[in-house]
């Protein structure tokens, strides 16, 4: 009797276990069926090229892929002896180091300035600052190219400096690029900050205000910690975008004058597209990805310690 | 009382408020100006454009630049761009809605790994994989084929991520109830999940459309023949060929920018929703 009663629940349990396993398996199969179309595209056109990028970076490969030979780390070694690469790396780092903090701080300021406004005004400004992004990098770039033109460009006409070649001067070219990049970078962060500030706990703010906290105190002690995840996200996306700065360079300066505006992404394009050195270009792509990973990791670290 | 609290909260000094308004207004002019200069520039004749003194408003507008633009295959370029953007949008929305729902509402083997993989991929520079993609597309025989731009756009995991965020708002009880009623998986998706994530699909649709329209790098690498160019790469090509014909180039820029800006303004609400929901929290 005791034996039977001891067995019965055991059998029950194992049967229950069995059905739950069947259910779990069915759930897994149906989940993968739902994801199948996405995964096909993701694996085929994101993961596979990523793998190819890594593999090709160890090959000496030109336009004829069947003639590729194994090169070991030769591409990686060549890179750090290649003056243009070093130059492009420094230019890229300069762009990132200048534009990321400026974009983040500026969009935070605009975000805090417009979020208390009437909703019509708020969407107006949000739209205006997003406009250069929507207009598209090519349209924005060609009009700036005209405005920078030494002879019929608007800037020289305004400043009375007709003949000055903004994009042809090693001192000014990269700053022109950074300025245009800035106008195409702040749209998204502003949208994010306006949304984040709208989610800040209003009661905490009011309590602090009643206790006599100043606006600046309220901002740093109450709002800043609450919008920290957004700040981190803004830092990371701005870093990724600044590292990938390409269209502006290709259309405005082609890396010149004297390599003063060449960026990593532009140099990768140049090597692959104009010189057909696919192995070398892919190796630089791997290095660019590593740099972005390092910069993002540093930002996470700093943001975490900053947050307490 | 509450009014008083509010005013003390928003109680910046009057001077600061005026300062903010002035700065924002100046910035607004600065941000709108390039588009204004494209539109007005496209209506100016060669003499006005090359004059030493800027003409702030086209006093004798001409459509000559557009006439010359349409002698290029500009309509074909516009059409190619629309085909790419619409196809990428439709495919992305369908695949991402399905996958996002599975990731948000199902518990399955390999879930955590798969999700981390998607997030990691998104943190990588998108442009870097375009070079090997070119070789992959050549191997598939898709050189100078619009599919070479459409397929990788659909593969980018942002859409899955966005739809996962939206799908998480579906109450699990509703899905349970459907299952108890014996509804099939497909039926549950079509009649319960999809209607609930519709705003998300709208946001993703407009977001994908605008970004695909403007994805210059991918288009530049994949499409070379003149007749398969998009409006962006077409204008860039024109600029390379006739770099001093600013009237023609501005007409091209206007043709590239006006449709997409119009779409953006019409669906602005969904667009901003897409940006905010797609943000990785924490």
User: How many distinct structural domains can be found in chain B?
Assistant: 2
Which residues numbered 248-277 in B keep a CB inside 8 Å of some CB on A? Answer: 249-250, 252-254, 256-257, 260-261, 264-265, 268, 272, 275-276
Asked if the Cβ–Cβ distance from B136 to A52 is below 8 Å, we say yes
Using CA atoms, how far residue B187 sits from A37, A95, B179, in Å, is: 18, 51, 10
Residues of A in contact with B210 (CB under 8 A): 134
Residue with tokens 């990791």: A297
End position of a domain, from candidates B15, B38, B64: B64
Predicted local confidence at residue A4, as pLDDT? 41
CA A8 to chain B, closest CA, distance in angstroms equals 28
| Span B129-141, pLDDT tens digits | 998 999 899 999 9
Query: B220: which chain A residues are within 8 Å (Cβ-Cβ)?
Result: 250
Task: Calculate what percentage of chain B has a pLDDT beyond 70.
Answer: 95
Q: Please give the DSSP secondary-structure letter assigned to residue B44.
A: S
| Whether B172 contacts chain A with CB within 8 A | no
Statement to judge: residues B56 and B192 lie in one domain: no
Is B155 touching A (CB cutoff 8 A)?
A: yes
Closest-CA distance, B173 to chain A, in angstroms, reads 16
Q: Tell me which residue in A34, A56, A281 faces B99 most closely, judged by beta carbons.
A: A34
How many Cα atoms sit within 13 Å of A122 on the Cβ side?
19
pLDDT of residue B99: 95
Q: What is the CATH number of domain A74-306?
A: 1.10.3720.10
Q: Give the gap in angstroms from C-alpha A134 to the nearest C-alpha of chain B.
A: 6
Tell me what pLDDT residue A32 has.
Answer: 92
Is there a single domain that holds both residue B262 and residue B246? yes
Q: Which residues of B touch A265 (CB under 8 A)?
A: 125, 127
- Judged by CB atoms closer than 8 Å, whether chains meet at B107 and A114 is answered as no
Q: Do A46 and B213 touch (CB under 8 A)?
A: no
Pair B116, B148 in one domain: yes
Kindly report, residue by residue over B39-61, the tens digit of the pLDDT. Answer: 998 998 888 888 777 888 888 88
Instruction: Provide, as residue numbers in chain A, all residues whose Cβ is less than 8 Å from the Cβ of B235.
Output: 138-139, 142
User: What residues contact residue B9 under an 8 Å CB cut-off, 6+ apart?
Assistant: A205, A206, A209, A218
Question: How close A308 gets to chain B, by Cα (Å)?
Answer: 14
Residue B7 predicted with pLDDT over 70: no
When scoring A28, A103, A142 by the number of chain B Cβ atoms within 10 A, the one with the most, hence best to mutate, is: A142
Interface contact B147, partner A, CB < 8 A: no
Contact B152 A46 (CB under 8 A): yes
Nearest CA to CA, how far is A100 from chain B (Å)?
16
For residue B91, is pLDDT > 90?
yes
Domain CATH for B219: 1.10.3720.10
Say if CB A190 and CB A110 are below 8 A apart. yes
Asked whether the beta carbons of residue B118 and residue A42 sit closer than 8 angstroms, the reply is yes
Whether A139 and B5 lie within 8 Å, measured CB to CB: no
Q: Measure A68 CA to nearest chain B CA, in Å.
A: 13
3 state DSSP class of B125: coil
Please give the average per-residue pLDDT across B67-86, as a whole number: 93
- B14, A218 contact by CB (below 8 A): no
Which residues of chain A are modeled with pLDDT < 70? Answer: 1-17, 306-308
Please list the residues that pair with A60 across neighbouring strands: A69
3-state secondary structure (DSSP) of residue A15:
helix
d(Cα A123, Cα A121) in Å, to the nearest integer?
6
- For residues B83 and B232, the answer to whether their CB atoms sit within 8 Å is no
The residues spanned by each domain of chain A are 2-56, 74-306
Residues B134 and B194 in one domain: yes
Chain B residues within 8 A of A154 when measuring between CB atoms: 37, 54
Q: Are residue B226 and residue B265 in the same domain, yes or no?
A: yes
Query: Cα A242 vs. chain centroid, distance in angstroms?
Result: 7
Answer yes or no: do B208 and B263 share one domain. yes
User: Shortest Cα distance from B129 to chain A (angstroms)?
Assistant: 6
Distance, in Å, from the CA atom of B113 to the CA atom of B149, rounded to the nearest integer, reads 28
Any A CB within 8 A of B87 CB: no
CB B132 within 8 A of CB A52: yes
- Within B124-245, residue ranges assigned H as helices are 130-139, 147-155, 158-167, 172-180, 185-188, 194-213, 216-222, 231-241
Residue among A134, A144, A247 minimizing CB distance to B216: A247
Give B217's contacts in chain A (Cβ within 8 Å): 246-247, 269
User: Could you tell me if residue A60 is left (phi over 0), alpha (psi between -120 and 50 degrees) or otherwise beta?
Assistant: beta
End-to-end CA distance of chain B: give it in Å, rounded: 36
Contact B260 A136 (CB under 8 A): yes
Residues of A in contact with B135 (CB under 8 A): 52, 56, 65, 278
Q: Which of A130, A136, A165 to mutate to test the interface with B (most CBs of B within 10 A)?
A: A136
Same domain for B49 and B72, yes or no, is no
B128, B137, B208: best to mutate for the A interface, most A CBs within 10 A? B128
* B178 within some domain: yes
- B24 to chain A, minimum CA–CA distance in Å? 8
Mean of pLDDT values over B151-159: 93
**Higher per-residue pLDDT: B62 or B255:** B255
Residue B4 has pLDDT above 60, yes or no: no
What is the DSSP code (8-state) at residue B169?
A: T
Domain that holds residue B8: 2-64
Q: What average pLDDT does the structure give for chain B?
A: 88
Render pLDDT for A27-83 as a digit per residue (tens, 0 to 9).
889 899 999 999 999 999 999 999 999 999 998 888 777 778 888 888 999 999 999
pLDDT above 60 (res B11):
no
Chain A residue numbers touching B49 (CB-CB < 8 A): 152
Looking at the structure, tell me whether residues B50 and B166 fall in a common domain: no
Alpha-carbon gap, residue A47 to A202, rounded angstroms: 44
pLDDT at A306: 63
**A119 contact residues in B (CB cutoff 8 A):** none
Residue B282 lies in a domain: no
Does residue B216 sit within a domain? yes
């Amino acid at each position: 009797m005791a034996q039977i009663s001891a067995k019965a629940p055991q059998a029950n349990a194992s049967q229950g276990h069995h059905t739950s396993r069947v259910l779990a398996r069915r759930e897994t199969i149906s989940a993968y069926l739902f994801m199948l179309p996405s995964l096909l595209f993701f694996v085929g056109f994101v993961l596979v090229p990523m793998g190819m990028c890594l593999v090709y970076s160890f090959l000496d490969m030109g336009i004829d892929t069947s003639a590729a030979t194994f090169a070991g780390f030769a591409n990686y070694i060549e890179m750090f002896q290649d003056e243009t690469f070093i130059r492009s790396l420094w230019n890229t780092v300069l762009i990132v180091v200048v534009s990321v903090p400026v974009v983040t701080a500026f969009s935070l300021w605009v975000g805090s300035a417009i979020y208390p406004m009437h909703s019509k005004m708020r969407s107006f400004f949000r739209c205006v600052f997003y406009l250069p992004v929507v207009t598209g990098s090519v349209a924005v770039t060609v009009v700036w190219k005209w405005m920078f033109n030494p002879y019929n460009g608007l800037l020289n006409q305004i400043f009375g400096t007709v003949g000055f070649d903004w994009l042809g001067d090693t001192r000014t070219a990269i700053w022109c690029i950074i300025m245009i990049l800035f106008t195409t970078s702040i749209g998204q962060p502003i949208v994010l900050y306006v949304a984040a500030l709208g989610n800040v706990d209003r009661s905490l703010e009011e309590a602090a205000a009643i206790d006599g906290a100043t606006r600046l105190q309220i901002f740093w002690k109450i709002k800043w910690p609450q919008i920290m995840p957004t700040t981190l996200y803004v830092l990371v996306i701005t870093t990724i975008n600044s590292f990938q700065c390409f269209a502006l360079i290709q259309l405005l300066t082609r890396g010149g004058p004297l390599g003063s505006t060449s960026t990593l992404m532009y140099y990768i394009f140049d090597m692959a597209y104009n010189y057909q050195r696919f192995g070398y270009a892919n190796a630089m792509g791997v290095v660019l990805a590593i740099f972005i990973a390092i910069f993002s990791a540093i930002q996470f670290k700093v943001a975490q310690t900053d947050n307490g | 009382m509450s009014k008083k609290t509010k005013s003390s909260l928003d109680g910046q000094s009057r001077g600061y408020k005026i300062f903010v308004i002035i700065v924002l207004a100046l910035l607004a002019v600065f941000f709108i100006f390039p588009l204004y200069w494209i539109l007005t520039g496209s209506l100016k004749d060669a003499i006005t454009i090359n004059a030493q003194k800027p003409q702030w408003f086209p006093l004798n507008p001409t459509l000559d630049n557009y006439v010359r633009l349409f002698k290029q295959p500009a309509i074909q370029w516009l059409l190619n761009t629309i085909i790419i953007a619409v196809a990428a949008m439709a495919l992305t929305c369908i695949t991402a809605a399905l996958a996002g729902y599975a990731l948000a509402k199902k518990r399955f083997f390999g879930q955590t790994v798969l999700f981390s993989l998607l997030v990691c991929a998104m943190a990588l520079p998108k442009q870097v994989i375009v070079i090997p993609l070119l070789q992959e597309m050549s191997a598939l025989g898709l050189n100078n084929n619009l599919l070479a731009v459409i397929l990788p756009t659909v593969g980018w995991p942002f859409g899955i991520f966005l739809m996962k965020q939206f799908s998480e708002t579906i109450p699990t009880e509703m899905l349970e109830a459907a299952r108890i009623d014996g509804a099939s998986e497909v039926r549950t998706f079509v009649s319960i999940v999809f209607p609930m994530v519709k705003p998300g699909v709208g946001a993703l649709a407009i977001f994908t459309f605008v970004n695909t329209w403007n994805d210059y790098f991918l288009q530049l690498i994949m499409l070379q023949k003149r007749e398969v160019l998009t409006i962006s790469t077409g204008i860039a090509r024109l600029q390379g060929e006739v770099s001093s014909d600013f009237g023609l180039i501005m007409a091209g820029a206007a043709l590239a920018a006006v449709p997409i800006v119009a779409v953006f303004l019409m669906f602005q609400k969904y667009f901003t929703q897409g940006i905010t929901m797609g943000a990785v929290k924490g």
